[in-house]
Amino acid sequence: MQRELVVIGAGAAGLMAATVAARRGAPVLLLEKNRRAGLKILISGGGRCNLTTTREGEDLELQYGQRRGRFLRHALRSFPPAALRAHVERLGVPLHEEDLEKVFPVSRRAGDVLAALLDDAARAGVEIAYESPMLGLEALAEGFAIRTPDATIHARYVILATGGLSYPKTGATGDGQRAAAGLGHTITPLLPALAPLALEEPWLMALAGLVLDAELSVADPQGRVLVRRRRPLLITHRGLSGPAAMDVSGAVEELAGTGTLRIDLVPDLPREALEASLLERAAQSGRRSVPQALPAQLPERLRQALCRRHGAFELSCAELRREQRRALVSELKGLVLPVQRSLGFAHAEVTRGGVALDEVEPRTMASRVRPGLFLCGELLDVDGPIGGFNFQAAFATGFLAGRLGAR
């Protein structure tokens, strides 16, 4: 079977790439290994699909980090969040903004976004073959041979959009990375990102269910801070979750147990102000208990647990020794936890690592290794924090890939 263009993987990136290519006149076959397209769209954002963000320009690019942001610059400028929003609204799905600059469908249904994208692909003339996994991809003198269970398909152009390794039950099993490597691409180490952090600290796990407004940072053994995030932090019985913990999990995994996780439990209060307020309380009314004197924005159970760790639970402010006060303030401003890993790919919303970015042309998503091959979405070595950044990157790189090199 001879085809002009075969897109492999019907997730956000592949659907966008296939639709753009079909609208530009290319006959497109889109291969999907599952019975349905876009499973990750359906489960995203707790079934509500945090489609994109309201951030833009350089600020948007920096969310992906310096190197990945620089690679994505052209894609994010060609198809920015405003263009993605306009596109999805034009397809009949009204969107609105929620906390933390997140954009969701007003209906709160991810299924509406997926249905609209599938309708659009069908209208553009994309032919989708379900339950059609790519089993092998080979470069020929001209074009490619794609092996599927039923046939070997020949194509002049191939767009690989098979996603990352996270949530393997959605179809993300690394086939695309293996195929790209087989064609000569370098695959950077694949690590879980946006995953809860595993922790065994009984005193903290006893506080499971607490949500804190904290700032987390991860530093390498030389003390260089790789990532710093202020977002809601959730304590669970298995460790730490919520956007703050998930956003730093990629850095924890990269450092493979050699990093240091620090939590500023009171990011708005400088250390000196904390010390001063404890001293003041001791002077004013020495009988006040230490847990009561700690910042009121912290849940009582956490204040009590911190005091217990420093033998200060039953002390009054006047009884608190200088070393105890200093140790307490240090933990409030920088609680160091022995976090070595996340809960892994089964719980990770995204994959860090993928096809090396210096082997992909950032203006077109064309492979610099194999002419006729284009790569897009999470398959690439790009990932962003929670907040719609991963769909934004997938749609924007898919948008460029679908142009098949036209600028």
Residue 16 or 199: the one with the smaller Cβ distance to ligand FAD is 16
Closest separation in Å from C-beta 142 to ligand FAD: 22
- H-type alpha helices, 201-293: 202-205, 242-254, 271-284, 290-293
Q: Which amino acid is at 145?
A: A
- CA separation for the pair 299, 34 (Å, rounded): 45
CA gap 101, 88 in Å, rounded? 17
Tell me whether residue 260 or residue 397 sits nearer to ligand FAD (CB atom): 397
Q: Let me know: does 93 contact 116? Beta carbons within 8 Å.
A: yes
Give every strand in the sheet of 225-235, ordered side by side.
335-337, 260-264, 211-219, 225-235, 239-241, 197-198, 341-342
The Cα 358–Cα 365 span in angstroms is 11
**H or E element at residue 232:** strand 225-235
When the beta carbons of 336 and 346 are compared against ligand FAD, the nearer one is 346
Q: How far is the CB of 203 from ligand FAD (least distance, A)?
A: 30
Q: Are 365 and 7 in contact (CB under 8 A)?
A: no
Please provide residue 252's backbone torsions phi and psi, each rounded to the nearest 5 degrees.
-60, -45
Quote the least distance from Cβ 146 to ligand FAD, whole Å. Answer: 9
Nearer to ligand FAD (CB atom), residue 44 or residue 217: 44
Q: Which residues bind ligand FAD (CB under 6 A)?
A: 8-14, 31-34, 39-40, 43-45, 49-50, 133-134, 161-163, 166-167, 171-172, 175-176, 349-350, 377-379, 388-391, 394
Distance between CA 253 and CA 24 in Å, rounded? 41
Shortest gap between Cβ of 315 and ligand FAD (angstroms)? 45
Among residues 31 and 298, whose Cβ is nearest to ligand FAD? 31
| Shortest Å distance, C-beta 263 to ligand FAD | 24
Q: From start to end of 161-210, where are the E strands?
A: 191-193, 197-198
Q: Quote the least distance from Cβ 110 to ligand FAD, whole Å.
A: 8
Nearer to ligand FAD, 152 or 285 (CB): 152
User: Cβ of residue 148: shortest distance to ligand FAD, in angstroms?
Assistant: 8
**Nearest residue to ligand FAD on Cβ basis:** 11
Residue number with CB closer to ligand FAD (133 or 372): 133
- Report the C-alpha gap between 405 and 397 in whole angstroms: 12
